[in-house]
């Protein structure tokens, strides 16, 4: 891997998210984050098989992202009701499922778990918030026993609210996977300013682009739109410049959700790789 900012992509084994592994291999991309496979695929044998594929292609798995049954990103309101550990009705079973994903990650030799934890409650004194803290702490303590850590993906909270949550969780193995496009998609804040605020906690990033919801008054209640890298409102040069300023040297993981159009996905990812390599050369020359 390149020592500074190796290129990566978000992919999956079987869940249909992210870039297909054959595209990763064809483009010669050295790192991946993966979405956890369905439960029946989270076996030592499947991990061994997938790891062998990665090793043959010179690919390193840097993070395994949790995914839970019945999550939906149909709209922001549905996302708030269904995603992550926040929904109370599924919180305990999903915490257990996250532990199983962590086991699968260990089979892949990966020490990092990723997660959209969901829309963290605003009321820090509420019973739901306090229970979310306790469940998150228990998961982190379990991960710590195995030398693992958790990266929470940004987007569903403002930077300030996310920092408050991290402070309340108060564990040394919880960090941030920063996704600038999500700040735009969810309408939760300017991505560059947010990155500067959460900088000490950032341990992994996504390189994804988006445009704000058309009407400013709809931001936070209606989706913005994901677009190809460099075509949106993130400003990738400013984003990477800020990553350099805060001392981030880890993978630049491209996320491009076009699973239904693999040909266009390959084009977009290839162009994203070229853009990131060009900016990397410019900023680290």
pLDDT tens per residue, range 163-184? 999 999 999 999 999 999 999 9
Closest to 136 in 3D by CA, of 122, 149, 123: 149
Residue 14 has pLDDT above 80, yes or no: no
What is the per-residue pLDDT for 258? 65
Tokens 């499947």, residue? 46
Instruction: Report the pLDDT value the prediction gives residue 259, as an integer from 0 to 100.
Output: 59
Which range, 38-52, 164-178, 256-270, has the best average confidence (pLDDT)?
Answer: 164-178
- 7-283: CATH architecture: Alpha-Beta Barrel (3.20)
- Tell me the per-residue pLDDT of 124-165, one tens digit each, with 9 for 90 and over: 999 999 999 999 999 999 999 999 999 999 999 999 999 999
Per the CB < 8 A criterion, the answer to whether 118 and 148 are in contact is: no
Write down the pLDDT at residue 219: 85
Q: Domain-by-domain residue ranges, the chain?
A: 7-283
Backbone angles phi, psi at 61, to 5 degrees: -85, 120
Confidence (pLDDT) at 280: 97
**pLDDT, tens digit, 9 for 90 and up, residues 85-139:** 999 999 999 999 999 999 999 999 999 999 999 999 999 999 999 999 999 999 9
What pLDDT does residue 260 have?
Answer: 66
On the question of pLDDT at 16 being above 90, the answer is no
* Residue-level pLDDT at 171: 98
- C-alpha–C-alpha distance, residues 273 and 243, integer Å: 17
Q: How far apart are CA 114 and CA 244, in angstroms?
A: 22
């Amino acid at each position: 891997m390149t020592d500074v900012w190796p290129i990566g992509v978000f992919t999956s084994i079987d869940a249909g998210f992210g870039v297909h592994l054959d595209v990763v291999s064809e483009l010669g991309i050295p790192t991946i984050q993966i979405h956890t496979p369905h439960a029946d695929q989270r076996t030592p044998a499947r991990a061994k098989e997938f790891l062998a594929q990665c090793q043959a292609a010179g690919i390193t798995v840097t993070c395994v992202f949790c995914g839970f049954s019945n999550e939906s990103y149909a709209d922001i309101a549905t996302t708030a009701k269904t995603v992550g550990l926040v929904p109370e009705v599924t919180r305990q079973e999903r915490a257990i499922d996250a532990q199983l994903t962590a086991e699968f990650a260990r089979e892949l030799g990966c020490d990092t778990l990723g997660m959209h934890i969901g829309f963290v409650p605003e009321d820090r004194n509420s019973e739901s918030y306090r229970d979310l803290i306790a469940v998150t702490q228990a998961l982190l303590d379990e991960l710590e026993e195995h030398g693992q850590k958790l990266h929470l993906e940004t987007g569903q909270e403002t930077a300030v609210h996310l920092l408050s949550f991290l402070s309340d969780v108060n564990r040394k193995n919880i960090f941030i996977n920063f996704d600038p496009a999500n700040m735009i998609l969810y309408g939760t804040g300017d991505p560059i300013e947010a990155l500067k605020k959460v900088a000490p906690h950032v341990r992994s990033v996504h390189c994804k682009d988006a445009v704000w919801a058309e009407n400013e008054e709809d931001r936070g209640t209606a989706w913005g739109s994901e677009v190809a890298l460099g075509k949106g409102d993130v400003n990738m040069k400013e984003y990477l410049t800020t990553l350099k300023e805060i001392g981030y040297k880890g993978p630049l993981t491209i996320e491009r959700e076009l699973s239904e159009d693999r040909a266009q996905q390959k084009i977009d990812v290839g162009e994203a790789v070229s853009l990131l390599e060009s900016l990397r050369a410019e900023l680290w020359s």
